Amino acid sequence: MSETRTEPQNGFASFEFDPRLERAIADAGFAEPRPIQKQTIPAALDGQDVLGLAQTGTGKTAAFALPLLDYVLESRERQPSALIVAPTRELATQIAEEIRRLAKYTRIQVATLFGGVSLGSQRTALRRNPEILVACPGRLLDLYRQGDVRLDRIETLVLDEADHMFDMGFLPDIRKILEALPEDRQNLLFSATMPPEIRKLAKGLLYKPHVVELESTRPVSTIDHALYPVDPGRKMQLLEKVLGDGDCTSAIVFTRTKHRAKRLAQQLSRSGHRAVALQGNMSQNARTRAMDGFRKKEFDVLVATDIAARGIDIEQVSHVVNFDMPTTPEGYTHRIGRTGRAERQGRAYTFVSGEDREMIRAVERRIGAMIPRLSVEGITGELPADREQPRRRPSDRPASSRPRRRRRRPAGSRPRSQSGNASKPGRSAGGSRSKASGTAAGGSRKSGNAKNNGRRRRRAAS
């Protein structure tokens, strides 16, 4: 064992994890840490707060799971000490499975808490005092309010896919969860994008965070992605062509609506494909069966809404097809990120028509490159040329858009007071409070070296 530490055969050996974790890492086939793991793991082991800005498919689950497991093994306390909050049931399930895979040579227990299933089984799991909780915000709050789960001893909090939780309206629930946690804890926040609300949350939550920022606007280099200009009435014909190619072994097809996902999966099944739908109207048991069946290759095609666009890690997906153009540029990156994972090559195709021109331009601006256009003879067409709209003369503008004439003030009248625009006293120009006034609600307050002295220490170099 000493020889392994002196001359590491595996890139993860330099982190000096517990030997049981090193054994599981080798079993998982992890040879060299990926960029987010190299940058996150040392800081997390030292007990620092971490802000990770990276798109899905970069290996961030292991980046926070391994330090969590290492700490739990050192603490040897049989109680919930780590909480991971995720936006969807599928992502929570996947995170828990990854942690169990890395903890298989230990006695660490993991409980998953999410809606759509009965409370009974989750209460039973909580009574076993699992060390790690992986939860969706709504169900976690339900169990907390009913006294089934304690949060006052949580020492490490992970918020995964924070921007997706904001998109789904979970931010108020997140703030309530933060209020129930002890102030002295380690916080790790991961997000693919940083909208203002998430930036504000991170500012109040994280204390001198170690920032890990990977290039998040461009799709990863292992993905070949392109557009197919096609009339909406011929999308099904084009989809059959793509799925019928010999190199398409497993595909996720994204649609805009739940009903279309269900209908398209049925159409593909009737035409001989092993297809299954995944959408929000399905029960949790049905969603689990669909994901498990797709993961075990019982199905070759998963037809999904954006519920599956983030965080779902199925390595064998060879193709992603956007049957409908996503509604945001970020959605494009997240969707096509379901292929090309774990440094495997993947292909992603998006079916577009004239009405998608604006979103195409928005996506290309975001990724900083033009997306290649492909064609299939007899099926695809061309996008109508983008024409410059002639500028309207002022007299042609709608009345509501014409500039208003400034009304003259009667002679002798006093001008309005401008005091309403003055800044309020007691607050800086940026709107931030001084450190003496405390942290934002739910934020963790730490002082000096409290983290490194009592929370988590690195092993001394041998």
Question: Which has the higher per-residue pLDDT, 254 or 3?
Answer: 254
Ordered domains of the chain (ranges, CATH): 2-216 (3.40.50.300), 223-367 (3.40.50.300)
| Angle in degrees, CA 45, 51, 53, rounded to 5 | 120
Neighbours of 412 (CB within 10 A): 5
Does 423 have pLDDT greater than 80?
no
Dihedral, 47, 52, 55, 56 alpha carbons, nearest 10 = 20
14-42 pLDDT, tens digit each: 999 999 999 999 999 898 998 999 999 99
Residue 217's pLDDT band, with cuts at 50, 70 and 90, is low
Does 362 have pLDDT greater than 80?
yes
Percent of the chain with pLDDT over 90: 55
Does 124 have pLDDT greater than 90?
yes
Does 341 have pLDDT greater than 80?
no
Encoded amino acid at 94, one letter: Q
Q: Are 58 and 10 within 8 A, CB to CB?
A: no
**Residue 383: predicted pLDDT:** 73
What integer is the mean pLDDT of 393-409? 42
What integer is the mean pLDDT of 292-307? 90
- Side-chain half-sphere CA neighbours of 196 within 13 A: 0
pTM, to two decimals: 0.65
